[in-house]
Structure 1
Amino acid sequence: MSDDGERAISIIGFIGSVFSPWYRWSGRRNPANHCCLNVVTYGRGGRWTMTDRGQEALGLSRDRLQIGPSAMVWDGDRLVIEIEEISTPHAQRLTGTVTVIPAALTEVELPLTDDGGHVWRPFAPKADIVVELNRPGWTWRGHGYFDANFGIRALEADFDYWTWGRFPLRDGAACFYDATRRDGTELSVAVGFAEDGSIRPIEQPPKARLKRPGWMVRRETRADAGYSPRQVKAMLDAPFYNRSAVMTKINGEETVGVHEALDLNRFRGPWLMPMLAVRVPRRRGWPGWL
């Protein structure tokens, strides 16, 4: 998010693009054949890119994840994301770099299922970011984070619903992960991070409802008792997924962070895949047209 709160960006590198209809239709047999760099900018002139690419577009080394013409590169103490994509539906080039400079790196790994089939890794719960893109007004500085999810099964095979939130604090950050698994069990985790990336105890506030967005996805987050959290910036609103900036209060401190809600019962429905195919074009090879 930008320091003035007017703009935001989300970037996800996929090997096995979990929300791609092409990956599902393929039977999910070859994750490398469905790689993607999803870049979404929020605010005036915001754009969406999510191109599903074949395995010829994937390159892996110790410090570099290459996905077609774009890449994520670890450079010393920072992550540099090189973006060269085409937006949908505007068909405009989105190019430039985003640099993520972590305050610290963590060793934290959280299994989301009892067998470890899904794992969350918050590599950098707090970071500075520098955005330099070719769109008007899209050169700015702000704060962000860097995390990853890994899984050996489809998300909808193991989960019905989850919410996630990351909220910066004066002396660190707090993350909340709540999920309902397919077997009826619940995941409820609160993790506090100090500035140096170390874990610290944090009291988990009670759940609090958020107003439903346009696609009516159920949303809830964590907030101090008696406090009503609210959306302060709309980001992504889809039939099964919502991302927004939310203001809440955590252990007496009011803060604005990124919140996500994912309804995997909706995502499980076959009716959704043709809709997603419109927003997620498929390009088998690269080089060639972006």
Structure 2
Amino acid sequence: MTERGNNALWRDRTLLKIGPSQLHWDGNGLTIDIDEKAAVIPRAVRGRIRVTPEVLGQRRFRLDPQGRHVWEPLAPRSRVDVAFSDPDIAWSGHGYFDANHGSEPLEDGFADWQWSRAHLKGGDTAVIYEGKLRSGNDFGMALRIGRDGNAEVCEMPHGVVLPRTGWAIDRLTRADSAAAARVRATWEDTPFYSRTALSSRMFGEDVHAVHESLSLDRFRSPIVQWMLPWRMPRRN
């Protein structure tokens, strides 16, 4: 993927274009058309992702007392259909779609965060979001989002320390007991971010969960900032 300048950006109420790629909302679902060059080896990445919400979130959440950072679980449960020509892959399954936005860079507001999501029987979605603000204060919430999109705030489950990533990023999740979660696969392992598949137990159910760890302290370090253009080239 690439980071691009203002002249490569265009949007209206239903369409967002970033260079040759775009996202389009048609009222029933989100179509993501990708036409990019991979890094570090510059090979083509072309394809389409269709995200069809099965549940639409009804709330947004402030992550800090001043409200500088807002998180929205826009579609806590969705149907996802993927069809790529480069590389030649296709699959369908269930997914999740959220958004963060705010009035300052993430690294100015947070030191780190941990997030996880699991789909429960009956159509509910469990979401855990926690971390440390740049001020040093902790934040966190455990949510059970129903099929109507309403989010019930629940007691935070037990903390479970997971093995560190290959880049030595700390991973923490929540489960019904301290021994109820384990790493199934590490999908993404970078100097400041990881995405992990877990086997866990949440709200009394055995689940497959998706988990992410983000270190903004690591992200803002000069050496990582120097490395980023090699992994994510800048283009005007």
Q: What is the TM-score of this pair, normalised by structure 1?
A: 0.78
Contact 2:46 2:85 in 1 (8 A): yes
* Runs of 4+ that moved beyond 4 A: none
User: Are residue 178 (structure 1) and residue 134 (structure 2) matched?
Assistant: no
Contact 2:141 2:153 in 1 (8 A): no
Question: One-letter code of the match for 1:88?
Answer: A
Contact 2:47 2:86 in 1 (8 A): no
1:65-144 to 2 correspondences below 5 Å: 65-135=16-86, 138-144=89-95
Question: One-letter code of the match for 1:95?
Answer: R
Question: One-letter code of the match for 1:187?
Answer: F
CA RMSD of aligned residues (A): 1.3
Distance 1:135 1:97 in 2: 10
How many residue pairs end up in the alignment?
Answer: 235
Q: What is the TM-score of this pair, normalised by structure 2?
A: 0.95
Q: Which runs of 5+ in 2 are unaligned?
A: none
Contact 2:47 2:84 in 1 (8 A): yes
Structure with the bigger percentage of strand: 2
State the 1:271 CA deviation.
1.5
Match of 1:168 among 119, 140, 154: 119
Match of 1:205 among 157, 162, 167: 157
State the 1:136 CA deviation.
5.2
Distance 2:205 2:88 in 1: 31
Distance 1:267 1:201 in 2: 30
Q: Which runs of 5+ in 1 are unaligned?
A: 1-49, 285-290
Question: One-letter code of the match for 1:104?
Answer: V
Distance 1:236 1:201 in 2: 29
Distance 1:192 1:228 in 2: 18
Distance 1:72 1:205 in 2: 36
Match of 1:187 among 98, 116, 139: 139
CA distance 1:155–1:201, shift in 2 (3 Å): closer
What SS does the aligned partner of 1:225 have? coil
